[in-house]
């Protein structure tokens, strides 16, 4: 295939990139990165169209390659800017302005004319290597797979640019560089075509992966408190239960429920009721350790999954939670709302077939705490034999 056909095909591929990124931008929640990538597609399309016209009509005015190369650099920078915006970094268009001015200026210096590729390729190489490095150093391992095609693509193109600059530098003045070798020119044009096609797919993959993750996170998060919800409890408890079956590791549940919460709603209104729920989760979060998972499993009911701990420690956490809630009233809208919680604790039993068995026992302990005066901790299997059997006050019962 001759380079003219390849340059036209690249212009088409760039237009498809601009169109698909633009449509994704309009169809999704107007992510700036998609807008940047649509702009990059437009820059590449314009650059390739100028290149095609220059080949077809044999134009050799200095301004034609100057504008074409400027747009080409802007296209590469557009991809980098989109990646930066995707990672919540500033796009740094000022860097592009400096690069574009330098590139344009280089075309106007007659002494640099024979060595333009040697001067411009390192600029494109730096942009592409910057993009690959930016994605590679992201600590999020889950996103690595989604970033991989873009990393490989940017690295590959940077290498191609390096080879191109090297070939030109070696043959400088001999007239045997890329511009004079049909094969190398065809390879270069083919590389651009592949780059644009894979770039479109890679950008779409990055955004799709991000949106899928955001959706999954939203489906596992409680809207009011921002903590995990019942669906997340199912996933995490099942995972921990299976791990425990394999390794024999201990699992405990602490369940707690705000006492007489209905009267808080009735007295102060639902807004204060909502604030009270958030307040209790905030207090609980201070008591819990980083490895304990807190879930809102009902209106004012919560569960904590405690893995790899002994019952005595779990009871200590439960009692501290009860104490802290009782000692930290919510002060809002001129109201001071005092609250207490009843708490149930249960440990995984060897006979448990499902994680739900453990949660049910923690709920039974919670019910026992409610039945015996509220604002207390009950531990399943300790003092639950009969309802008339007194629990040991607010003390740790295990
Ligand atoms: P107990 O001590 O036995 O737990 O009594 P209670 O009043 O706390 O329990 P009950 O289950 O009778 O009432 C719970 C109330 O919680 C009923 C419901 O209107 C309210 N509720 C459930 N979800 C929310 C919520 O998201 N926000 C608010 N403000 N109230 C809620
Ligand atoms: Mg309640
Ligand atoms: Mg309740």
Reading across the β-sheet that carries 377-379, which strands appear in turn? Answer: 293-296, 301-307, 251-258, 341-347, 377-379
256 lines ligand 1 (CB under 6 A): no
359 and 288 together in one domain = yes
Say which ligand is closest to the CA of 260.
1
Same domain, 63 and 109: yes
Quick check: CB of 273 below 6 Å from ligand 1? yes
Look at residue 119 and tell me if it is in a domain. Answer: yes
- Whether 238 and 191 share a structural domain: no
Ligand 1 site, residue 224, Cβ cutoff 6 A? yes
What's the confidence (pLDDT) of residue 267?
92
Domain boundary among 164, 187, 219: 219
CATH of residue 388's domain is 3.30.70.270
Question: Are 378 and 284 part of one and the same domain?
Answer: yes
Given the CA of residue 272, which atom of ligand 1 is nearest to it?
29
Per-residue pLDDT of the chain (398 residues; tens, 9 = 90+): 677 898 999 999 999 999 999 999 999 878 999 999 999 999 999 999 998 988 888 777 777 888 999 999 999 999 999 999 999 999 999 999 999 898 888 888 877 777 777 778 899 999 999 999 999 999 888 888 999 999 999 999 999 999 888 888 887 666 555 566 777 778 888 889 999 999 999 999 999 999 999 999 999 999 999 999 999 999 999 999 999 999 989 999 999 999 999 999 999 999 999 999 999 999 999 999 888 999 999 999 999 999 988 999 999 999 999 999 999 999 987 889 999 999 999 999 888 899 999 999 999 999 999 999 999 999 998 655 444 343 443 434 43
pLDDT at 263: 95
Q: Give the Å distance between the CA of 262 and the centre of ligand 1.
A: 5
Query: Rounded to whole angstroms, how far apart are CA atoms 150 and 84?
Result: 13
Scored b (16 or more CB within 10 A) or e, 308-336 reads ebebeebbbbbbbbbeebbeeebeeeeee
My answer on whether 203 and 238 are in the same domain is no
Handedness of CA 261, 264, 266, 269 (dihedral sign): negative
One domain, residues 214 and 303? no
Q: Whose CA is nearest to atom 13 of ligand 1?
A: 262
**Ligand 1 center–CA 259 separation, angstroms:** 9
Nearest ligand (C-alpha, residue 367): 1
For residue 301 and ligand 1, the question of a CB distance below 6 A is answered with no
Last residue of a domain, one of 186, 219, 252: 219
Residues 153 and 276 in one domain: no
Q: Are residues 296 and 173 in the same domain?
A: no
Report the run of H or E that residue 255 belongs to, with start and end: strand 251-258
Q: How many independent structural domains does the chain possess?
A: 2
Question: What distance in Å separates the CA atoms of residue 292 and residue 275, rounded to the nearest whole number?
Answer: 23
DSSP 316-337: HHHHHHHHHHHH--EEETTEEE
Ligand 1 centroid – CA 265 distance (Å): 8
Q: What is the DSSP string of 64-116?
A: HHHHHHHHHHHHHHHHHHHHHHHTT----HHHHHHHHHHHHHHHH-GGGGGGH
252 assigned to some structural domain: yes
Residue 214 maps to a domain: yes
Q: What confidence score (pLDDT) does residue 345 get? A: 97
Q: What is the pLDDT of residue 166?
A: 87
- Residue 224 forms part of a structural domain: no
Are residue 131 and residue 276 in the same domain, yes or no? no
Look at residue 203 and tell me if it is in a domain: yes
Q: Which domain holds residue 319?
A: 230-397
Which residue puts its alpha carbon closest to atom 24 of ligand 1?
Answer: 299
Among 168, 192, 219, residue at a domain's last position: 219
Question: How close is the Cα of 248 to the center of ligand 3, in Å?
Answer: 32
Instruction: Supply the angle between the helices 63-86 and 93-108 in degrees, to the nearest 10.
Output: 160
Question: Is there a single domain that holds both residue 35 and residue 180?
Answer: yes
Shared domain check, 287 and 168: no
Question: What is the reported pLDDT for 180?
Answer: 62
Q: Judge if the beta carbon of residue 372 lies within 6 A of ligand 1.
A: no
Q: Are 50 and 74 in contact (CB under 8 A)?
A: no
Would you state the structure tokens that stand for residue 31, as one six-digit string? Answer: 């992510």
Q: What is the pLDDT of residue 165?
A: 86
124 and 158, same domain (yes or no): yes
pTM for the full predicted model: 0.75
What residues are neighbours of ligand 2 (ion), with CB under 5 Å? 257-258, 261, 300
Residue closest by Cα to atom 17 of ligand 1: 262
Assess contact for 375 and 342: CB atoms under 8 A: yes
* Residue 225: inside a domain: no
Ligand lying closest to the C-alpha of residue 276: 1
Whether ligand 1 lies within 6 angstroms of the CB of 235 is answered as no
Q: Does 305 fall in a domain?
A: yes
């Amino acid at each position: 295939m001759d380079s003219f056909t390849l340059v036209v095909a690249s212009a088409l591929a760039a237009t498809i990139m601009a169109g698909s990124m633009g449509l994704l931008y309009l169809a999704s929640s107007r992510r700036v990165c998609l807008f940047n990538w649509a702009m990059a597609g437009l820059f590449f399309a314009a650059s390739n169209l100028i290149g095609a016209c220059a080949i077809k009509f044999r134009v050799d005015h200095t301004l034609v390659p100057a504008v074409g190369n400027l747009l080409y650099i802007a296209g590469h920078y557009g991809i980098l800017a989109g990646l930066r915006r995707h990672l919540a970094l500033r796009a740094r268009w000022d860097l592009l302005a400096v690069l574009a001015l330098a590139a344009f200026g280089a075309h106007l210096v007659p002494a640099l004319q024979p060595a333009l590729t040697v001067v411009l390729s390192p600029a494109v190489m730096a942009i592409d290597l910057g993009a690959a490095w930016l994605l590679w150093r992201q600590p999020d391992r889950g996103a690595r797979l989604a970033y991989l095609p873009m990393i490989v693509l940017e690295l590959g193109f940077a290498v191609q640019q390096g080879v191109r600059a090297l070939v030109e530098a070696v043959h400088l003045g001999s007239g045997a560089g890329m511009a004079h070798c049909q094969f190398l020119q065809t390879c270069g044009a083919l590389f651009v075509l592949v780059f644009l096609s894979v770039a479109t797919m890679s950008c779409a993959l990055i955004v799709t992966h991000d949106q899928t993750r955001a959706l999954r996170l939203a489906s596992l998060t409680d809207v009011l408190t921002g903590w995990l919800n019942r669906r997340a409890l199912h996933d995490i408890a099942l995972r921990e239960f299976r791990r425990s079956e394999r390794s024999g590791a201990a699992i405990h549940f602490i369940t707690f429920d705000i006492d007489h919460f209905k009267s808080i709603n009735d007295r102060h209104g639902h807004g204060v009721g909502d604030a009270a729920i958030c307040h209790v989760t905030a207090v609980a979060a201070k008591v819990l350790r980083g490895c304990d998972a807190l879930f809102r499993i009902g209106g004012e009911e919560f569960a904590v999954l405690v893995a790899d701990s002994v019952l005595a420690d779990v009871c200590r956490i439960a009692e501290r939670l009860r104490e802290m809630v009782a000692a930290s009233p919510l002060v809002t809208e001129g109201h001071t709302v005092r609250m207490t919680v009843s708490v149930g604790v249960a440990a995984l039993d060897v006979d448990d077939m499902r994680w739900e068995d453990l949660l049910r026992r923690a709920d039974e302990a919670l019910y026992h705490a409610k039945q015996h005066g509220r604002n207390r901790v009950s531990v399943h299997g300790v003092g639950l034999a009969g309802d008339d059997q007194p629990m040991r006050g607010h003390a740790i019962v295990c």
